[in-house]
Structure 1
Amino acid sequence: MLNVSDLDVWFGDPPDRVDAVRGAAFSVAQGESFGLVGESGSGKSTILRAIAGLIDSWSGQIEVDGRQIEGARRDRGFYKTVQMVFQDPYASLHPRHSVDAVLSEALRLQGMGDIDRRITRLLEDVGLGKGFRFRYPHQLSGGQRQRVAIARALAAEPRLLLLDEPTSALDVSVQAEILNLLKELREEHGLTYVMVSHDLAVVGHICDRLAVMQQGEIVEIMSVDALRRGAGEQDYTRHLIAASQ
């Protein structure tokens, strides 16, 4: 579903250029859940944003579902395949748009018809009833807002979801609910995930494999089983695991 190779991402121009990601390479199989972990500033969210087309200053190869991605994403077909869920559900929803408006807009942008039925189904998919349809973000809890954000991403019927710290802004009890929802949605819809997180427990709960990032480079790719055993090959990986326990 996703192949990334020789990926460099940078910000600014010389002499002030900052190389945020250098030589990243990994593959994600269809239906797999893949994690990107590392300390803040390691480049993991930058990779996600480059894949999503939110950053133009990159070089290398990004291939989604067998198609090479180049430059800006102007092809509607790309967003029918790939959608992103952001970290902060408070910031990612327009405060003056109701849930109905948010989901209606997403469906219309993708050229979808039968809007009423699709909105009802999306709300059911993410564990919200019809009673939430005409509420505004300020009337929702953090977890409910993130469920709406996930529903918005699902409106395009994508096959690949990019998850940028989707639970880090939520209370611990709500985090577990959202992670369980994501697991259920992956199974029901055959989705592929790439999840960024600084929390190894979150990655261990939802991912099959993960890449460990340090200062813009992938230093190790490992299975979640190896993560649970603390069997990192690199000193940095073992340090991360030890710090999370």
Structure 2
Amino acid sequence: MMLDIDTLNVWFGSGRDRVDAVKAATFSVARGESFGLVGESGSGKSTILRAISGLAPQWSGRMVVDGTPLTKTRPKAFYKAVQMVFQDPYASLHPRHSVDQVLGETLHLHGFGDIDARVVKLLDDVGLGQKFRFRYPHQLSGGQRQRVAIARALAPEPQLLLLDEPTSALDVSVQGEILNLLVDLRRDRGLTFVMVSHDLSVVGHMCERLAVMQNGQIVEVLGVDALRQNAATHPYAQSLLAASI
């Protein structure tokens, strides 16, 4: 099992200001699987990714990645194994760092040598090529920026990619290209995905199974075949599927 989440609670603030964003979430993701988290805005799906990645420090329960239980502090090896692609490629890249700096610094941070060759290969792998190497984010389109963000996530050679609505900030014409790129990368690199989306058609294209979230809770886990057949059993999951048709 690549990821095992058991009775995960995530909250923000304390005392009367405390907000319980995720309540007793439990699911597991097999090695090589693509698993979706769907639900309305504020349902807690992105918060689960942030808890796994270490960006939401207030949590309880059990999270295990590739057999290793996670604690509040993460070892360096964790960030080599687990990487995240964020929703907004405009915000996730440093505006004054060239593509070469973004990728080169990530590779250096994770102890890789032969950085030049690795940067070139990463750009090729995400469909950009060397001509983009010394460009800055403002010289790139939204789709190109997201390809750079994906290349940065791939640089440490992770096993698990956390995808937080990776196409929702992009033009519709570009979304399909990025999703197909992710499908190809998963196949070629044997990656495991956990993908957050509010778009059920995206999840149907990308994932084998999905969890439906409402008000911080997972109300149903179903396979993509059940999604396509509109065969959910929980009333909220049924209404979510019906609204997407």
Task: Please indicate, yes or no, whether the TM-score normalized by the shorter chain is above 0.5.
Answer: yes
- What do the CA deviations read for 1:117-155 (whole angstroms, capped 9, x no partner)? 000100010001100000000110000000000000000
Q: Partner of 1:31 in structure 2?
A: 32
For 2:22, the aligned partner's letter is V
Q: What is the alpha-carbon distance in structure 2 between the residues aligned to residue 209 and residue 105 of structure 1?
A: 35
1:51 aligns with 2:52: yes
Q: Partner of 2:150 in structure 1?
A: 150
- What do the CA deviations read for 1:17-50 (whole angstroms, capped 9, x no partner)? 1110000000000000000000000000000000
TM alignment of 1:168-179, pairs within 5 A = 168-179=168-179
Secondary structure in 1 matching 2:17: coil
Q: Partner of 2:128 in structure 1?
A: 128
Q: What is the alpha-carbon distance in structure 1 between the residues aligned to residue 134 and residue 238 of structure 2?
A: 48
Q: Partner of 1:164 in structure 2?
A: 164
Structure 2 stretches of 5 or more lacking a match? none
Secondary structure in 2 matching 1:15: helix
For 1:231, the aligned partner's letter is A
Secondary structure in 1 matching 2:21: strand
Give the number of aligned pairs: 244
Q: After the TM superposition, which parts of structure 1 deviate over 6 Å for at least 4 consecutive aligned residues?
A: none
- Residue 72 of structure 1: how far off its partner (Å): 2.4
Secondary structure in 1 matching 2:7: strand
Secondary structure in 1 matching 2:16: coil
Q: What is the alpha-carbon distance in structure 1 between the residues aligned to residue 173 and residue 6 of structure 2?
A: 37
Secondary structure in 1 matching 2:15: coil
Q: TM-score, normalised by structure 1?
A: 0.99
Q: What is the alpha-carbon distance in structure 1 between the residues aligned to residue 133 and residue 163 of structure 2?
A: 24
1:183 aligns with 2:183: yes
Secondary structure in 2 matching 1:89: coil
Q: TM-score, normalised by structure 2?
A: 0.99
Q: Partner of 1:114 in structure 2?
A: 114
Q: What is the alpha-carbon distance in structure 2 between the residues aligned to residue 110 and residue 76 of structure 1?
A: 8
Q: What is the alpha-carbon distance in structure 2 between the residues aligned to residue 136 and residue 33 of structure 1?
A: 32
Q: CA RMSD in A?
A: 0.5
Q: What is the alpha-carbon distance in structure 1 between the residues aligned to residue 82 and residue 55 of structure 2?
A: 12
Q: What is the alpha-carbon distance in structure 2 between the residues aligned to residue 59 and residue 112 of structure 1?
A: 34
1:90 aligns with 2:83: no
